[in-house]
């Protein structure tokens, strides 16, 4: 157990809908990262937040948005969902801002868009 929690574990929804994925980092970690893992795209970095502020942006679609709250938990919002958004979404956390710090991954949220 990495200490990073993600809810829900599984999510099934329909195209065009909007969902919110939640992540709680390890105690003491200030950075949160979001990743998407799908069969055709592999593992992709989406976005990083540090202490409430966006720090680095990867291949995140405009339909997706994220935020980190004052208590350091983070939410990833996915809207206008498409079939291709079906994937495993991981959250990871690390103690500091730099990518040189080890990231600890949560168990993931499996999103299925029907």
Which positions touch other proteins (CB under 8 A)?
A: 2, 42-45, 48, 55-58, 90, 97-100, 102-103, 105-108
Q: How far is the CB of 56 from other proteins (least distance, A)?
A: 5
Query: Is 15 or 98 the residue whose CB approaches other proteins more closely?
Result: 98
The minimum distance between CB 30 and other proteins, in angstroms, equals 13
Contacts of 65 (CB under 8 A, 6+ apart): 76, 77, 79
Determine the 3-state secondary structure of 72 from DSSP: coil
Nearest CB to other proteins, comparing residues 81 and 94: 94
Question: Is the distance from CB of 62 to CB of 54 less than 8 angstroms?
Answer: no
């Amino acid at each position: 157990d990495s200490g990073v929690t993600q809810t829900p574990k599984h999510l099934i929804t329909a195209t065009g809908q909007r969902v919110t994925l939640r992540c709680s980092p390890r105690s003491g970690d200030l950075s949160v990262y979001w990743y998407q893992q799908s069969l055709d795209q592999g593992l992709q970095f989406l976005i990083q937040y540090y202490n409430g502020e966006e720090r680095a942006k990867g291949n995140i679609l405009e339909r997706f948005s994220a935020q980190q709250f004052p208590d350091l938990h983070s939410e990833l919002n996915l809207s206008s969902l498409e079939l291709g958004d079906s994937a495993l979404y991981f959250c990871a956390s690390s103690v500091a801002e730099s990518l040189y710090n080890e990231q600890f991954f949560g168990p993931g949220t499996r999103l299925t868009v029907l």
